[in-house]
Structure 1
Amino acid sequence: MKELAYYDGTIGMPEEVTVPFNDRVHFFGDGVYDATVGGNHRVYLLDDHLDRFYSSAKALDIRIPMDKKELGTLLTELLSRVEGDTHFVYWQVTRGAASRNHVYDPNMKGKLWVMIRPNTLRDPDSPIQLITKEDTRFYHCNIKTLNLLPSVVASQEASEKGADETIFHRGGTVTECAHSNVSILKDGVFISHPNDNLILRGISKTHMIQACYRLGIQVMERAFTLGELMEADEVIVTSSSNFCLHAECVDGVRVGGKDRDTLQMIQDAVIEEYLDYTGKAGIMD
């Protein structure tokens, strides 16, 4: 298959698989999700992503219809059916299907969705453009919920301005991007927002921090300001499908470019981890 969709046990192409009208995702966006890349038909950092997925579901009292090991086996098996060497692997669970009502049956069985499609990872040496926007999202950003409208709007605004991503901030304090984490390098120190309820705990960011420790790079997990971001030696953006990108421009102003040696060390370390994990799959086409 060139692309795969799965819903509650049914497998097919995305245009073939249908979803019941009464699935609560249609009325409330009632669900959580996770995503990663697949290399050589291996789901990258599978256990990390499953842990976060089950934690998000538990936070919202959503019942995933299978245990963690069973889901991991299913994702691996589904990935094996899709052509290619590098893929985007996405899955979500909705609370279930029932007549529209804000109140739900606590015993309702969740509905599992999976989507797998070919993917190409972005060249980490190619710089990206960013814009900034006030963060008006709710205070549960640590849960990977399907309620992504603010991020959709912010991503569209970035696209229309010729940028790649939007940095959110609350009163001048940087939180994260619309669909990525953002960190900075300053005077040899890696600085990143702490894992609180204002950001999603990025798995790629977590592994990048681990790489910094291995490399002897000092790490500070603390909030930082837009002013610090603009004055940083490097601005680093990470996500599960792009591990370590660097920015050259924020709101039309040039940033970073002052500590490429440290940046390159970090990029090399996270790429090496990916290649080792997936059996030396090609990271880029």
Structure 2
Amino acid sequence: MQAIAYYDGKIGAPEELMVPFNDRVHFFGDGVYDATVGANGKVYLLRDHLDRFYTSAKALDIHIPMEKAALGELLTDLLGKVDGTTHFVYWQVTRGINDRNHVYPEGMPGKLWVMIRPNHLNDPDVPIRLVTAPDTRFYHCNIKTLNLIPSVMAAQDAARRGVQETVFHRDGIVTECAHSNVSILKDGVFYSHPNDELILRGIAKTHMIQACYRLGITVMEKPYTLDDLRAADEIIVTSSSNFCLHACELDGAPAGGKDPGTLKAIQDAVLQEYYDYTGKTSVLD
């Protein structure tokens, strides 16, 4: 074969295999991978790569559906079916198949993927050219990317703790939640993290801020601290499917509940916009 693919027990050409729509990799980038070269029927440094692969999966609570030795045998067997003498050997495991939800069923079986194709190694005697760029790989929270593994893990941890959301922070500054924005009320002023590369600009949050302006509530889009969060009169969590929730507990301690009047005014204004737009009369139906 020119190239070979494997998915959950099925083997074929890469263009032939079909992946279920609800494989979580499609929604969350929810998986881990490893890769190496193959030469003359041998997967190079197979044990080292398998050790790293299983370590990565364990760190994310992903269950690989076969033991390490069996996977090594599978990779070697598949490699022997591909034309050529030098190959690119790639494999990954996704968390599995389930309806789209950040929280996943505990212990769900993962789905194994393999792809092997002919390849060649570059000549080490031929020099290459380089450029430099700032390392911003962890500063793209403002992009609604499919790579949501940190949010998935935070949401799952919250579910295990019996709470509904996780608030992220950097260097003591509150940013956002695992899949929501978080804002606070203090002394009648609405505070929210500015729309920069550290948070996703929430549509629901934006409309809530507009509601505050209509209500004459002062809005401060500026960084605030964990201490500010703990001392807030109200903590407000917003997303496109939960417009204006409020918190009663933070890290096991009571939170909010000190400015219900302002909170209710904001909630009413946000919900009224929803009702006017959709013709609905309740968020519960």
TM-score range for the pair, normalised by the shorter chain length: 0.5 to 0.7
Alpha-carbon deviation of 1:265?
0.1
Q: How far apart, in 2, do the equivalents of 1:20 and 1:164 lie? A: 29
Overall identity of the aligned pairs, in %: 72
Q: 2:182 touches 2:192 (CA, 8 Å); kept in 1? A: yes
**Higher RCO (Cα < 8 Å, 6 or more apart):** 1
Aligned to 1:159: 159
* Secondary structure class of the residue paired with 1:144: coil
Instruction: Read off the aligned partner of 1:266 and give its amino acid letter.
Output: I
Q: 2:29 touches 2:149 (CA, 8 Å); kept in 1? A: no
Q: Please give the per-residue CA displacement for 1:107-159, whole angstroms capped at 9, x wherever unaligned.
A: xxxxxxxxx99xxxxxxxxxxxxxxxxxxx82100000000000000001101
* Secondary structure class of the residue paired with 2:247: strand
Note if 1:209 corresponds to 2:206: no
Structure 1 moving runs of 4+ over 2 Å: 18-21
Q: How far apart, in 1, do the equivalents of 2:203 and 2:138 lie? A: 21
Aligned to 1:190: 190
Q: 2:183 touches 2:190 (CA, 8 Å); kept in 1? A: yes
- TM-score after normalising by structure 2: 0.53
Aligned to 2:262: 262
Instruction: Read off the aligned partner of 1:275 and give its amino acid letter.
Output: Y
Q: Please give the per-residue CA displacement for 1:166-191, whole angstroms capped at 9, x wherever unaligned.
A: 00000110000000000000000000
Aligned to 1:280: 280
Q: How far apart, in 2, do the equivalents of 1:172 and 1:158 lie? A: 20
Instruction: Read off the aligned partner of 1:267 and give its amino acid letter.
Output: Q
* Secondary structure class of the residue paired with 1:185: strand
* Secondary structure class of the residue paired with 1:165: coil
Aligned to 1:218: 218
* Higher gyration radius (CA): 2
Q: How far apart, in 1, do the equivalents of 2:242 and 2:276 lie? A: 16
1:96-111 map, 5 Å: none
Unaligned runs of 5+ in 1: 1-17, 31-99, 102-115, 118-136
- TM-score after normalising by structure 1: 0.53
Q: How far apart, in 2, do the equivalents of 1:178 and 1:29 lie? A: 15
Q: How far apart, in 2, do the equivalents of 1:139 and 1:165 lie? A: 21
Aligned to 1:169: 169
Aligned to 1:148: 148
Q: Please give the per-residue CA displacement for 1:218-238, whole angstroms capped at 9, x wherever unaligned.
A: 000000000000000000000
Q: How far apart, in 2, do the equivalents of 1:251 and 1:20 lie? A: 38
Q: How far apart, in 2, do the equivalents of 1:248 and 1:20 lie? A: 40
Alpha carbon RMSD of aligned pairs, Å? 2.8
Instruction: Read off the aligned partner of 1:167 and give its amino acid letter.
Output: V
